[in-house]
Amino acid sequence: MPTAIDIRNVTKTFPGVAALTDVSFAVRSGEVHAVVGENGAGKSTLMKILGGVYQPDRGEIDIGGKRAHIRSVRDAVDHGISVIYQEFNLMPELTVAENIFAADLPTVPFLPLVRRGHLAERTEALLRRLALELPPSAYVKNLSVSQRQMVEIAKALHQDSSILIMDEPTAALTAAEVDTLYRIIRTLKAAGKTILYISHRLKEIFDVADRVTVLRDGRYVGTEAVSSITQDAVVRMMVGRDVQHFYPSAASSGGEVALEVRNLTRRGAFEDITFTVRKGEVLGLAGLMGSGREELMKALYGLLACDAGEILVGGRAAGIRSPRDAIALGLGFVTEDRKEAGIFPLMSVKENVSLNVLRRLSGFGGLSIDARRERALLADYATFLNLRYASEDQAIMYLSGGNQQKIVLARALAAECGILLLLEPTRGIDVGAKAEIYHLIGELSRKGIAIILVSSDLPELMSVSSRVLVIWQGKLTGDLGGSDVDETTIMQCATGSRRFTSEKS
Amino acid sequence: MLGRIWEDYFIYLVAAVTLAVFGLLTPNILSAANVVNLLTNAATVAIAAAGMTFAITGGGFDLSIGSTLALTTCILGKLVPRMGVGAAFAVALAVGAVLGTLNGLIITKFKIQTFVATLSTLIIYRGLALIYTEGRDATLYANLGIKVFTSGDIAGLPVPVLLMAMVFLVALGVYRLTPFGVRVRSIGSNLAASRISGIPVDQTIIAIFVITAVTTVISGTLLTSQLLTGNGRVGQGFELEAITATILGGTSLTGGKGNVLGTLVAALLLTIIANGLNLLGLPDQYQRLAKGLIFIAALALDSLGRALRHRRT
C-alpha cells in the first residue's frame, strides 16, 4: 500500500517545552490511522504541523511520496490535507453553507457578489455525497453539537482533500452520534480517503482504526495494527506503566439522606423529578444529550429556576435561588464546560482554588487575604489531588486539561461541600488523569460526601456510580441499583423504550 | 425565528413609537420642512454609523472616527480655497483611506485590540488635525461652493439625504451580497476559526477600517458644509454617537451579527429625539438626561424581549 504521509524526525519546541522530539512514522494511503497519547503527548502539535498552523523546527514530511513544505493553512489544503480541530472551528452567526465555503465563496464572474443559488446547490451536492443530513441555510448557532460536527466534516472535505485529520471528533458526541460518525468514516474510507484519527477513547480506536500510533511525552512509542494488540497493551504504551484498577470499585450505597428532590419541574427541561442521594453515595445520572440531565443539575445548583417541586438539603426545604444559596447549603458544582465556565484562565493556580473561600482566608477584618493560609489551602489539595504545576502563581491556562479539572474540583472541595454535583468531570482529559479523578470520587464518597455524576461515557458512569438514574425527555425512566446496572437497560431507559426501577434493598 | 425578527425589527418599533409620541407633543415635527431637516441632520452621524456597523459586526470598534471627522473639516477648510470642492473632497477621501489602512495595520501587524489601537489613533489623528490648522479655524465663508453638501438638491431631493441613501444602499449590498460581507460576519463570529478556515483575516480587518474612515470623511464633509469651518476640535464624542446608533440598531456588541438598516433607523431615531426635545424647548442639560433615559429604556425593552424568550439561564 503506498504511503500517504511520511513523517521523519520531526521536532518542535515551544519556549521551555519540547512538544515533539524526533517523531517518525508513516501513514498508509486509504487507512484509518489512530494517534493516541496522554494530554501533552504531542498529538495536537503534530496535527497542527500537518495542518499548516505550526512549522516544525526540524524534520521532514512527505505527502504522497513528495517532500511537502506546509507553511500555512492554505498550503495544507493545496497538499490535500484537511483538519477537523478539537475545538469547534465554526462561525455560529453564519449559515451551514457559508461556514463550509467561508474561504472560497462562489462569486459572479468579475464581480464580488456571492452566488447564493450556486452556493446552496454546491452545499447540497456536497452533503449528499457525504450522506449528511443538514439544512444548508440554517444558522450554525441553532444546530446541535452533532450537527455542528457534521458541518466541520463537510467543511474539511469541501475541497475534496485526500487526507482528513480528526482531532478528538467524539469529545462532545453521544453514543448514537458516535455511530453516525463511524458510518461517515467508513464512507470516506471506502472513497479512498486517508484518515488520521486522534482520540482519548480507546474503545473508539478499536472500533474504527486500522492501525494505531502511540506518542508519549512528545516522543514516538510505536505503531501497531489494531487487530494484533489489546486495549491494555495500548494503555501501557501510553502511560509507560501498568494502570491498575482503572475504575475504582463502586462506592457504597451510603448513609443518611443528604439531598432530596421532590416533584421538581422546569417546563421544557424536566418534570416531576423525585429522588434522594445519601451521604457517601455516588449517584450516576444518565441520559442522552438534550434529555434534561444538565438542566436538572443546574437547577439543583440554583443556576436555573424551577416551576414546581422542592429541594431538601439535610431534610430541610432548601429554597435555592442562586449558586450563592447552594454554596451556603454545602453544594459544590463542577461544570461540564471547563473552558467557558470552569476556570479563570488568566488567574493563578492558587487563586483558582481559593476564590470561593476568600472570606475564610482573609485577615484584617476582610481587608486582606492571608497569603500563608491561601498557600496552605493549595498545598493541602495539591497533595490530595496529586496536582502538577510549575508554580502556584502560574496562570491556570498553561496547565493540562486534567490538572485544570482537578483544580476546579479543588475549588468545590475547598468550600467544604457535602454534596458534589459533577458534570462530565473527565471530558477531554487523558487516561492517567481520568484514573485519578475516579480514584478521587471514590475517596470523597468514603469521606461521606454525596456525589451526583453526569457522564456521557457510559462505562465510566456505570463503574463509578453505586446507583444510576436515567432521564429521558425530562422524565425519570430508570432507577437502577446493584446488579441491575447494565448498559442495555440504561440505553433502553435513555431512549424511552423501557421504564425500570430496581427493588429497594 | 420569532427571536430573530424581534432582534432585527425591534428598533423600527421604538422609532415608530417615539415619532408618534413627539408627533402628538409637537405636531411641527412631522411638517415637510422639518422632515427634510431631520434627514439632513441625521445624515452626518448615520453615514459614519454605516461604517461603524462593519467594525462592530467584525468584532471591533473604531474609536478614532471623531478625530478623522475633525481632520476632514480641517483638510476641507484649508484645501477648498486652494483647489476647489471636488479636488479637496478627493484628497480628504484619500487621506481617510490612508488613516483607515493605518488603523488596520496597527491592529493586524502589532496584534493590538481594535479598542486600544483606535483609542491611540483617536489621540494621534486629532493631534494631526490641530497641527495642520495650527489650532486655528480654517473658515470657508468665502467659498460657499461647499454648501452644496447640505443645501444642494438633485431633482428636489436634498444632497445629504441622497448621499445617505447611497451610502446605505452600498453598505447593504456589501453586507448582504459580497464575500467580504460574509468574511466580516465570520471574523466577528469566531476569529480563530476564521483564520483556520483560510479566510484572509488581516486584509478583511484593514478593509473594515478603511470603510469606517472613508464613511467618516463623507460625514465630515457634510459637517464642514454646515459649519463652513475646519476645526481640529470638532467631533469629540462623535464615535460614541455612531456606536450608539449601531448598537441600538441591533448590531451585536460581541460581533458576528450586524443590521445595516437598523443602524439607519437608529440614527434617525437619535435625531428625532434630539429634534423633538429641541422643539419642546427643553434646555440642553435636560436633553442629555432625557436622551440617556430613552436609550436605557430602549435597551431594557430589547433585553426584556430576549429574556421572555430564553428565561433565566
pLDDT score recorded for residue A17: 66
Please name which of A143, A127, A3, A147 lies closest in space to residue A65, comparing C-alpha atoms.
Answer: A3
Helices (H), B32-64: 32-57
Q: How crowded is residue A362: how many other Cβ atoms within 10 Å of its Cβ?
A: 15
Asked if residue B62 is part of any domain, the answer here is yes
What DSSP element (H or E) covers A271?
strand A270-278
Indicate the SS3 state at residue B199: coil
A11 sits in the region (left: phi over 0; alpha: psi -120 to 50; else beta) called beta
Whether the CB-CB separation of A93 and B189 falls below 8 Å is answered with yes
Summarize pLDDT for B99-116 with one digit per residue, the tens.
Answer: 999 999 999 999 999 999
d(CA B152, CA B145): 10
Give chain A's domains with CATH numbers: 3-239 (3.40.50.300), 245-330+417-505 (3.40.50.300), 346-416 (no CATH)
> Angle at the Cα of A14 (from A66 to A392), degrees rounded to 5?
155
User: Which residue bears the cell 439543583?
Assistant: A300
Q: What b/e string do you get for B98-133 counting C-beta neighbours within 10 Å, with b at 16 or more?
A: ebbebbbebbbeeeeebeebbeebbeebbebbbebb
Beta strand segments in A342-390, E:
362-363, 368-369
Q: How far is CA B70 from CA B7, B229, B270, in A?
A: 34, 10, 21
Residue of A75, A91, A96 best to disrupt the B interface, most CBs of B under 10 A:
A91
Low-confidence ranges of chain A (pLDDT < 50): 505
Whether the CB-CB separation of B213 and B99 falls below 8 Å is answered with yes
CATH code of B140's domain: 1.10.3470
- Residue B301 corresponds to which cell in the numbers above? 425593552
Asked if residue B3 is part of any domain, the answer here is no
Asked if residue B112 is part of any domain, the answer here is yes
Where is pLDDT greater, at A156 or B304?
Answer: A156
Question: What would the mean pLDDT of B246-260 be, rounded to a whole number?
Answer: 89
Residue type, B301: L
Residue type, A462: M
- Residue A354 corresponds to which cell in the numbers above? 481559593
Closest approach of chain A CAs to the CA of B111, in angstroms? 17
d(CA B43, CA B62): 19
A52 sits in the region (left: phi over 0; alpha: psi -120 to 50; else beta) called left
Asked if residue B5 is part of any domain, the answer here is no
Query: Considering CB atoms only, which of B177, B178, B313 is closest to A304?
Result: B313
Query: Considering CB atoms only, which of B192, B196, B312 is closest to A304?
Result: B312
Asked if residue B17 is part of any domain, the answer here is no
pLDDT score recorded for residue B230: 94
Neighbouring residues of A333: CB distance < 8 A, sequence distance ≥ 6? A297, A301, A303, A323, A326, A412, A420, A421, A423
Neighbouring residues of B252: CB distance < 8 A, sequence distance ≥ 6? A93, B56, B57, B188, B258
What DSSP element (H or E) covers A147?
helix A145-157
pLDDT score recorded for residue B202: 94
Considering only CB atoms, which residues of chain B are within 8 Å of chain A?
Answer: 177-183, 185-186, 188-190, 192-199, 252, 256-257, 311-313
pLDDT score recorded for residue B312: 42
Instruction: Tell me which chain A residue has its CA closest to the CA of residue B180.
Output: A112
Query: Considering CB atoms only, which of B178, B196, B311 is closest to A113?
Result: B178
Summarize pLDDT for A187-244 with one digit per residue, the tens.
Answer: 889 989 999 998 877 788 888 999 999 998 889 999 999 999 988 888 788 877 655 5
d(CA A287, CA A289): 7
d(CA B214, CA B97): 6
Considering only CB atoms, which residues of chain A are within 8 Å of chain B?
Answer: 51, 53, 73-74, 77, 83, 85, 87-94, 98, 102-105, 107, 112-114, 155, 303-305
Contact B188 A112 (CB under 8 A): no
Query: Considering CB atoms only, which of B177, B185, B190 is closest to A90?
Result: B190
Using a CB-CB distance cutoff of 8 angstroms, which residues of chain B are in contact with residue A53? Answer: 196
Closest approach of chain A CAs to the CA of B258, in angstroms? 10
Query: Considering CB atoms only, which of A87, A89, A112 is closest to B178?
Result: A112
As a whole-number percent, the residues of chain B with pLDDT over 90 amount to 57
pTM assigned to the model: 0.74
Summarize pLDDT for B263-281 with one digit per residue, the tens.
Answer: 999 999 999 888 888 888 8
Q: How far is CA A104 from CA A73, A138, B183, B200, B213, in A?
A: 13, 19, 10, 10, 27
Residue of A75, A79, A87, A94 best to disrupt the B interface, most CBs of B under 10 A:
A94
Q: Number of residue pairs across A and B with CB atoms under 8 Å?
A: 73
> Angle at the Cα of B273 (from B160 to B176), degrees rounded to 5?
55
Q: Is the pLDDT of residue B255 over 80?
A: yes
Contact B177 A105 (CB under 8 A): no
Residue A27 β-bridge partners: A5
Whether the CB-CB separation of B150 and B40 falls below 8 Å is answered with yes
Contact B193 A98 (CB under 8 A): no
pLDDT band at B145 (very low <50, low <70, confident <90, very high): confident
Contact B313 A74 (CB under 8 A): no
Residue type, A350: K
Asked if residue B10 is part of any domain, the answer here is no
Q: Is the pLDDT of residue B2 over 60?
A: no
Whether the CB-CB separation of A332 and A412 falls below 8 Å is answered with yes
Summarize pLDDT for B214-237 with one digit per residue, the tens.
Answer: 999 999 999 999 999 999 999 999
Closest approach of chain B CAs to the CA of A448, in angstroms? 31
Structurally, chain B folds into a number of domains equal to 1
Instruction: Tell me which chain B residue has its CA closest to the CA of residue A298.
Output: B313
Summarize pLDDT for A368-406 with one digit per residue, the tens.
Answer: 777 888 888 888 888 888 888 878 888 888 887 888 888
Beta strand segments in A314-428, E:
316-317, 331-334, 362-363, 368-369, 419-423
DSSP letter (8 states) at residue A6: E
Question: What would the mean pLDDT of B122-134 be, rounded to a whole number?
Answer: 96
User: Which residue bears the cell 475516579?
Assistant: A438
Indicate the SS3 state at residue A260: strand
Contact A94 B194 (CB under 8 A): no
pLDDT score recorded for residue B313: 41
pLDDT band at B206 (very low <50, low <70, confident <90, very high): very high
Using a CB-CB distance cutoff of 8 angstroms, which residues of chain B are in contact with residue A137? Answer: none
Closest approach of chain A CAs to the CA of B256, in angstroms? 6
Closest approach of chain B CAs to the CA of A137, in angstroms? 13
Instruction: Provide the CA A58 distance to its chain's centre, in angstroms.
Output: 32
d(CA A354, CA A410): 9
What DSSP element (H or E) covers A501?
strand A500-501
Q: How far is CA A300 from CA A234, A277, A310, A448, B262, in A?
A: 40, 12, 10, 19, 40
d(CA A352, CA A395): 9
A249 sits in the region (left: phi over 0; alpha: psi -120 to 50; else beta) called beta
Asked if residue B49 is part of any domain, the answer here is yes
Indicate the SS3 state at residue B140: coil
pLDDT band at B4 (very low <50, low <70, confident <90, very high): low
Using a CB-CB distance cutoff of 8 angstroms, which residues of chain B are in contact with residue A87? Answer: 192
Provide the angle, in degrees to the nearest 10, between the axes of the packed helices B284-310 and B238-248: 30
Q: How many residues does chain A have?
A: 505
d(CA A265, CA A307): 6
d(CA B91, CA B191): 34
d(CA A235, CA A231): 6
Residue B237: which domain range? 31-303
User: Which residue bears the cell 483556520?
Assistant: B196
CA dihedral B265, B271, B273, B276 (to 10 degrees): -130
Residue of B4, B182, B183, B310 best to disrupt the A interface, most CBs of A under 10 A:
B182
Residue of B4, B186, B257 best to disrupt the A interface, most CBs of A under 10 A:
B186
Using a CB-CB distance cutoff of 8 angstroms, which residues of chain B are in contact with residue A102? Answer: 182-183, 186, 194, 197-199
Using a CB-CB distance cutoff of 8 angstroms, which residues of chain A are in contact with residue B189? Answer: 91-94
